[in-house]
Structure 1
């Protein structure tokens, strides 16, 4: 891995030199656009509207237009901002971990100690674990002020950037304003259905089916070209059921019974059903 940022994590007068690494990577099959009739590669170019010239990326600046005036901001202008020059990840508060709305969470990063002695790093890690708190930090990365959650994963401190509160839309749906009556029996059956699917979450048990099928399709086309038979490759497409459930009670009963049957077949009559792999 290559560090994308170097600086210091600070809380109070404690200074923890760190390197920041992206914690995730994309596993999607890389695809690009082509002209369907001849396979020619489609490429995008940055063209100036005034002179029609293709502009190298190195010569591209940013600008703000208020409708009457345009203010051009060069890379040097943006780099001169005090927040951008800062090399600090500042802890601003420690909050109960359950107060973080999942909708706020964005990109995760690993923090590596960047010092001959990792004692300050280990101290902060142990403090977070013992207090069961999440540190809210503030820093600048890639020309943006970021708010992030600092937490512990194994022996490593992690950062997960947070959306700002005004970036979360209000969920206002008229249908939810209507009163709904739910019977005790419906709740009982629904809880039984939940129990039938109950399990400890294991992310390794799930795979991205679309990407696996895409790779199968590519391999098949490499072998057979356009003569590929998708039905032969993937089997006949199953008819998908959908639409609104008319009889909720009957659907709950059937679902509970099916889950119990699957659980019995999957575990010899005991335990939980086998976990289905899905995207």
Structure 2
């Protein structure tokens, strides 16, 4: 069982509920050590006195605030003494509609559990009440010398706690970004086509369909370097869409997105590539080039932009993914380039023998 990162008392009105808080998420980032180049010597960070150059033990380190003229020293126990509720109270001051809390305010998520079996009834009562009301309890509490604004909500039969940013921590985008579109005008045709693209690409939210493909590639890189194998480089980023070719890009995107919806995906519904995949820039560039040239000729073996006659080994990942979509290859959104090639060859052999 996991160890709680905080325990205290959740209060709402005159009701008190002892709870424990558990981390709800994990990070699967690959952790690297630091070495001096050309050696196997570890490089470590140390607390060093900048005047003497000597290492300082942790128990001799104190917090200090620089007020400009001198340092004001603060001991850890002094921070605990001034913490609201002495760091052990999670007081709900009111309830809000979940839809009123903008996503930008949410930070981290934790699970809340009752501190003992004798508190399960109060816990279940609050969970059911919040779930039926579609509400969240807004509260504050102190953990590790930091006060948090939080939202407590019902989720899948338990209480979850979401830390929120304070209002003055949210930056004003108009002060941060100097080239926001403002009153930039778009045509009705462009807006209609963009809406059509959004509707065509609409999916059901299934988080299990998405994978951290970058971390998978980092792991593959480490294994390849360990075994002396080569590693395939990622596809280059998509080129920016020229404003002149905007309608071509939108139309080509809609046409491409419609193809998977005409056939079953193998997973019970439409499914798009995960966040690690990019749309093939050649598809959009060819459509734009065709329009600029007044229609243009056709390539051998297929239409403009077609790669039907090309070997699978010569195709980009984006082109392989498009073919996998047309062939209804299951699990294609989480495949790397090599896996797409193998899957397409398997599908081709299956069609030849059936």
Q: Which moved more, 1:38-47 or 1:18-27?
A: 38-47
Q: Which of 105, 108, 123 is the equivalent residue of 1:121?
A: 123
| CA distance, structure 2, for counterparts of residue 272 and residue 189 of structure 1 | 23
Query: Which residue of 2 is the match for residue 146 of structure 1?
Result: 148
Residue of structure 1 in register with 2:34 after alignment: 33
Greater helix share, structure number: 2
User: CA offset at residue 116 of structure 1?
Assistant: 2.9
Q: 1:264 to 1:3 in 2, by over 3 A?
A: same
1:183 to 187, 196, 203: 187
Indicate the structure whose relative CO is greater, using CA pairs within 8 Å and at least 6 residues apart. Answer: 1
Alpha carbons of 1:135 and 1:237: their partners in 2 closer, same or farther (altered >3 Å)? closer
Distance 1:260 1:138, change over 3 A: same
Match of 1:75 in 2: 76
Structure 1: where are the runs of 5+ without partners? none
Question: CA separation in 1, counterparts of 2:221 and 2:212?
Answer: 15
SS state of the match for residue 80, structure 1?
Answer: helix
Distance 1:249 1:150, change over 3 A: same
Superposition TM-score, scaled by structure 1 size? 0.90
Change (3 A) 1:20 1:178: closer
Asked if 2 retains the 8 angstrom alpha-carbon contact of 1:84 and 1:143, the reply is: no
Cα deviation, residue 265, structure 1: 5.2
CA RMSD of aligned residues (A): 2.0
**Secondary structure at the counterpart of residue 176 of structure 1:** coil
Asked whether the equivalents of residues 197 and 253 of structure 2 are also in contact (C-alpha less than 8 Å), the reply is yes
Of 160, 173, 180, the match for 1:171: 173
User: Is 2:219 aligned against 1:215?
Assistant: yes
What's the CA shift string for 1:15-34, capped at 9, x where partnerless? 01101111111111111221
- Could you say which residue in structure 1 is the equivalent of 2:23? 22
Partner SS, residue 7 of structure 1? strand
- Alpha-carbon distance in 1 for matches of 2:90, 2:199: 43
- Return the offset for 1:129: 1.1
More strand by share: 1
Q: Does 1:262 align with 2:260?
A: yes
* CA offset digits 1:147-195 (Å, max 9, x no partner): 1010111111011111111111101144336532222222221121112
Instruction: Answer with 244-253 or 66-75: which moved more.
Output: 244-253
Which has the greater radius of gyration? 2
The answer for the alignment partner of 1:62 in structure 2 is 63
Runs of 4+ displaced beyond 4 Å: 265-268
Q: Which segment drifts farther, 72-81 or 14-23?
A: 72-81
Say whether the 8 Å CA contact 1:16–1:120 is kept in structure 2: yes
Gaps of 5+ in 2: 277-354
* SS, match of residue 26 in structure 1: coil
In 1, Cα distance between equivalents of 2:67 and 2:61: 20
- 1:24–1:108 Cα contact (<8 Å) kept: yes
Q: What is residue 280 of structure 2 aligned with on the other side?
A: none
Find the partner of 2:158 among 156, 159, 174: 156
CA contact (8 A) 1:198 1:272 kept: no
Q: Secondary structure at the match of 2:215?
A: helix
Pick from 264, 273, 277 the counterpart of residue 274 of structure 2. Answer: 277
Q: Is 1:135 aligned with 2:132? A: no
